[in-house]
């Protein structure tokens, strides 16, 4: 019941935020896309962190930790350099450009017909291809949660559910992780209904209030997620024998050599050293968000001043790289003991 209470409270809060800011969000495009450039740095930074706290990321972190140990997480931590570069070097330039979206910046940076072609290509590639792939990652991971916590076959009237299930089965779609041992038709129906309702819910509050409502819900989501993650980390570590016992438990489960690899923040000297240095030196820069493209640039431009934009980058980096990673690291190591 506690889970449902938190869920319904968040739904009510999000709908309220969207309704509250609908009149400001509908004034003009600047209000809708950039919240009138009035957002404080701490709220913008927490919003950035919330956008990257997706359902698929913990699965990636656990996979990296189990395969390569703690040092493999540098693949994610190194992005902190790009986040700080965005805030302290590029943030002011984004704000001075006066654009509403990163696609609009293309028309300023380049001239003639080539600019329009590039803008169209970016719209198709980033707006369609990349977004669809990322959404697929997130929604596939979300179904692992939906199947456990949203049993629609138990809540909806039997006749209504059976009719909807027939339509889903006829479509040939199968979304079943096997976590609940439900038949494919039931699990797929539950997941499809959960995904549709979630997308309608997010579209509802984001389209009515614009970026203001999105940031408002982002901050609340992040606080809920960090609180839940901290509690999860506490209980997981205690279940594994306590923080002081964790290295010993890993060693007794996997052996001294493997346990040392799990806990090492640096790569082993040898074959892994050169790829590690290449990743640390290049990956943070040679990636599509290194200049703040997309939602990071949007929240940077929505800040009320250059100083607030820098503050947003610092808050984002600390929350993303330090706070979140530390909690996930503890959970991951504890789970390696509990589920060897």
pLDDT score at 269: 67
Give the lowest-confidence range in 98-107, 132-141, 233-242.
Answer: 98-107
Phi, psi torsion values for 305, nearest 5 degrees: -160, 170
pLDDT score at 329: 94
pLDDT band at 178 (very low <50, low <70, confident <90, very high): confident
- 25 membership: H or E segment, kind and range: helix 22-25
pLDDT band at 306 (very low <50, low <70, confident <90, very high): very high
pLDDT score at 217: 95
Residue pair 101/298 in contact by the 8 Å Cβ criterion: yes
pLDDT score at 278: 76
288-300 confidence digits (pLDDT tens): 777 777 889 999 9
pLDDT score at 272: 67
Place of tokens 């956008």: 51
CA distances from 311 to 286, 292, 295, 316, 318 (A): 24, 15, 16, 8, 11
> How many Å apart are CA 45 and CA 313, to the nearest integer?
6
Task: Give percent above pLDDT 90 in the chain.
Answer: 53
pLDDT band at 270 (very low <50, low <70, confident <90, very high): low
The residues near 39 (Cβ < 8 Å, ≥ 6 apart) are 47, 211, 212, 215, 299, 302, 303, 304, 308
How many domains, in total, are found in the chain? 1
Task: Give percent above pLDDT 70 in the chain.
Answer: 99
Average pLDDT over residues 34-43: 96
Global pTM reads: 0.90
Domain of 184?
Answer: 2-338
Residue pair 205/303 in contact by the 8 Å Cβ criterion: no
- Residue 27 burial by CB count (10 A; 0-12/13-18/19+): exposed, middle or buried? exposed
pLDDT band at 328 (very low <50, low <70, confident <90, very high): very high
């Amino acid at each position: 019941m506690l889970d449902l209470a938190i869920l319904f409270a968040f739904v009510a809060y999000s709908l309220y935020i969207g309704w509250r800011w609908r009149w400001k969000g509908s004034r003009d495009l600047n209000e809708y896309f950039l919240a009138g450039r009035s957002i404080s740095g701490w709220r913008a930074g927490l919003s950035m962190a919330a956008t990257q706290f997706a359902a698929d990321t913990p699965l990636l972190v656990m996979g990296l930790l189990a395969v390569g140990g703690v040092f493999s997480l540098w693949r994610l931590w190194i992005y902190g350099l790009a986040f700080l570069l965005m805030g302290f070097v590029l943030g002011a330039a984004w704000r001075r450009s006066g654009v509403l979206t990163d696609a609009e910046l293309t028309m300023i940076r380049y001239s003639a017909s080539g600019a329009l072609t590039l803008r169209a290509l970016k719209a198709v590639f980033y707006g369609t291809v990349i977004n669809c792939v990322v959404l697929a990652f997130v929604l596939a991971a979300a179904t692992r949660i939906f199947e456990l916590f949203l049993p629609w076959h138990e809540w909806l009237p039997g006749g209504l559910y059976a009719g909807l299930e027939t339509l889903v089965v006829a479509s040939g779609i199968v979304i079943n992780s096997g976590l609940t041992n439900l038949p494919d038709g039931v699990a797929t129906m539950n997941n499809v209904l959960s995904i549709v309702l979630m997308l309608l819910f997010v579209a509802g509050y984001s389209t009515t209030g614009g970026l203001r409502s999105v940031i408002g819900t982002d901050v609340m989501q992040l606080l809920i997620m960090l609180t839940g993650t901290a509690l999860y980390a506490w209980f997981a570590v205690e279940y594994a024998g306590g923080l002081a016992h964790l290295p010993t438990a890993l060693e007794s489960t996997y052996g001294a050599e493997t346990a040392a690899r799990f806990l090492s923040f640096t790569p082993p000297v040898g074959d892994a050293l050169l790829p590690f240095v290449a990743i640390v030196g290049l990956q943070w820069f040679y990636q599509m968000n290194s200049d703040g493209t997309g939602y990071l640039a949007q929240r940077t431009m929505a800040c009320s001043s250059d100083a607030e934009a820098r503050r947003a980058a610092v808050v984002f980096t600390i929350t993303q790289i330090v706070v979140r990673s530390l909690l996930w690291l503890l959970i991951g190591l504890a789970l390696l003991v509990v589920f060897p």
